[in-house]
Amino acid sequence: MLRFILRRLGVSALILFLGSVFLFFITVFSGDPLEDLRESRERTAQQQMEARTRNMNLNEPWFVRYWMWLTGVAKCVTLNCDLGNDSTGASISTSLVNAAGSTLRLVTLATALAIIIGVTMGILAAIRQYSGFDYAVTFAAFLFYSLPVFWVAVLLKEYGAIRFNNWMADPSVSLTTALIVGLLFGLTIASVLGGDLRRKLVTGGVAALVGFGAMTYFDQVGWWRQPALGLPLIILIAAGAGVLLTYLTVGTTNRKILYSSLTTIAAGVVGWFIFNGWIVAPTYPLLLLMLAIAIVSGIVIGWFWGGWDRNIAIWVSIGTAVAFAGATALDQLLRNWGPFLDRKPRPISTIGSGSVNFEGPFWTEMWDWGVQLILPTIVLTVISLASYSRYTRASMLETIRQDYVRTARSKGLSERVVITKHALRNALIPITTIVAFDFAGLIGGAVVTETVFGWKGMGALFQEGLQRVDPAPVMAFYLVTGTAAVLMNMVADIAYAFLDPRIRT
């Protein structure tokens, strides 16, 4: 495996090198970087031309300039990168750090959401083949896949920012809207759970009532401007995660795993009171420390209750602890939505990745940091969601028709065991390849999204470099995207070996 990884790294390095030479060459000869100054009538035009020539080393041949860039990149091995200066004399390394930070937080979140939602929808669509849910997922996938990115971004700016901000000034939900939301929620739950007509009517009706009741209750108590979860709902979320993980791993027959999950929730309640001061006014180190405490507690509780299934109990307890911690953080974040609205009455901006000179407590600053991610993240997620759901559905359908899956069913194994332990892992092997290419592709595809939403990220860096015929920003963009492609392919190779042990040999 190590030899294979080293060989892949060598081939990837060669490809990156050849690609960088080609990109540098076509960027340098794509235009005249001094064209705007040659046509200028300003008295300082000549001095500006001399300064730009000096900043971009225009007196040197293109291959000398490339060599200077390459030697600066080689210094990254010692964490002392020197990517040169742009046409204005600004350091590319500084610009790249700021741009990459904006783009990577956007692309990483969009990729994670697309994988989780898309793979889940694909699995459910395969299990419920030719059902209403399957047809709905298929229709949505083709619709999202065919939508132009810039058009979706403009629509989201109109309805997700401008009109949402207007509604948030005096939020209210009409009875008709609550009924529609309840019916949609009921149809979704009924189609996912499946069963005969009677079961669908019962589950759909109950879910519709719950959805309608929740919308009505939220509207009556003014939840839209002062939201919160509260400890009972946090416990319910963690309990749901624990029961789900227990069902997916060993089913409901092994009570020790379930007891391990419930004990973890009890420990979480105790920790909620002990660390309440830290939770209300945290810092990033404190959040990481509390998460580490939750994980360690889950390991200890799982080891105590596990018995013969100790490893499974540990993982279920860790999952329950993380769910409890995440719900607790979400509760505090929601409680600070009102104070955030007081500081920023129109919360979602249509331009930029954050508010200028915004200062406040930890959770309100988190809101300012997060709300700017919502709209561009939705755009990028929608782009990838369609491919993940369709590929997962196709791979899952192909896997569950294999002989070993039919053999597992003939042995009397439950459908849960057949899907989770025999079909799912093998069905996910082709998806890892898509993830590897999609992450790097999203960085490149974010150029349009960042332009629409006014983000100063990698897209803006790349676009400005092309407009100025300046290879330094373009090569910085290539350095990040190319490295991301190589690293994600390496992660895919490692994931292959994890999903299918036969690949290790």
pLDDT per residue rounded down to tens, the chain (505 residues) = 677 677 777 877 888 888 899 999 999 888 888 887 877 778 788 888 888 888 888 888 888 999 988 888 888 877 778 888 888 888 888 888 888 877 888 888 888 888 889 888 898 888 888 877 888 888 888 888 888 888 888 888 898 889 999 999 889 999 999 999 999 999 888 887 777 788 888 999 999 999 999 999 999 988 999 999 999 999 999 999 998 888 878 777 778 888 899 999 999 999 999 998 899 989 999 999 999 999 999 999 999 888 788 888 999 999 999 999 999 999 999 999 999 998 888 888 877 766 767 778 899 988 988 888 888 888 888 878 888 888 899 989 998 888 888 888 888 887 778 888 788 878 887 787 777 777 767 776 677 787 888 777 887 788 888 888 888 898 988 888 888 777 777 777 777 766 666 665 5
pLDDT for residue 377:
86
Both 210 and 110 in a single domain? no
Is 462 inside any structural domain?
Answer: no
The runs of H, that is alpha helices, within 250-309 are 255-274, 276-280, 284-306
C-alpha closest to that of 257 among 298, 290, 285: 298
Q: Does residue 454 sit within a domain? A: no
Are residues 210 and 142 both part of a single domain?
A: no
Number of structural domains (the chain) is 3
- Do 13 and 151 belong to one domain? no
237 with 362, same domain: the answer is yes
Name 91's bridge partners: 85
- In this structure, are residues 487 and 436 in contact, taking their beta carbons and an 8 Å threshold? no
Domain membership of residue 243 (yes or no) is yes
Where among 189, 223, 257 does a domain terminate? 223
Q: How far apart are CA 206 and CA 226, in angstroms?
A: 27
210 and 273 inside one domain: no
Residues 322 and 417 reside in one and the same domain = yes
Do 188 and 155 lie in one domain? The reply is no
Q: Is 461 part of a structural domain of the chain?
A: no
Question: How confident is the model at residue 310, as a pLDDT?
Answer: 86
Is 455 inside a domain boundary? Answer: no
- In this prediction, residue 138 carries a pLDDT of 87
Report yes or no on 457 lying in a domain.
Answer: no
- Residues 203, 54, single domain; the answer is no
Report the distance separating Cα 274 and Cα 349, nearest Å.
37
Q: Are residues 286 and 186 in the same domain?
A: no
Residue 246 falls inside a structural domain: yes
Task: Tell me what pLDDT residue 445 has.
Answer: 65
401 assigned to some structural domain: yes
| DSSP state letters, 399-411 | HHTSHHHHHHHHT
Task: Report in angstroms the alpha-carbon separations of 91 from 72, 85, 332.
Answer: 12, 5, 39
Q: State whether 166 and 236 are in the same domain.
A: yes
Q: Are residues 35 and 79 in the same domain?
A: yes
Give the N- to C-terminal CA distance of the chain in Å, as an integer: 8
Which of 440, 458, 488 marks a domain boundary? Answer: 440
CA distance 482 to 51: 31
pTM above 0.75, yes or no: yes
Single out the residue in 223, 239, 260 at which a domain terminates: 223
136/23 same-domain check: no
Q: Which residue segment(s) compose the domain that 496 sits in?
A: 2-90+468-504
> Would you tell me how many other CB atoms lie within 10 Å of the CB of residue 309?
18
Instruction: Please count the other Cβ atoms lying within 10 Å of the Cβ belonging to residue 357.
Output: 5
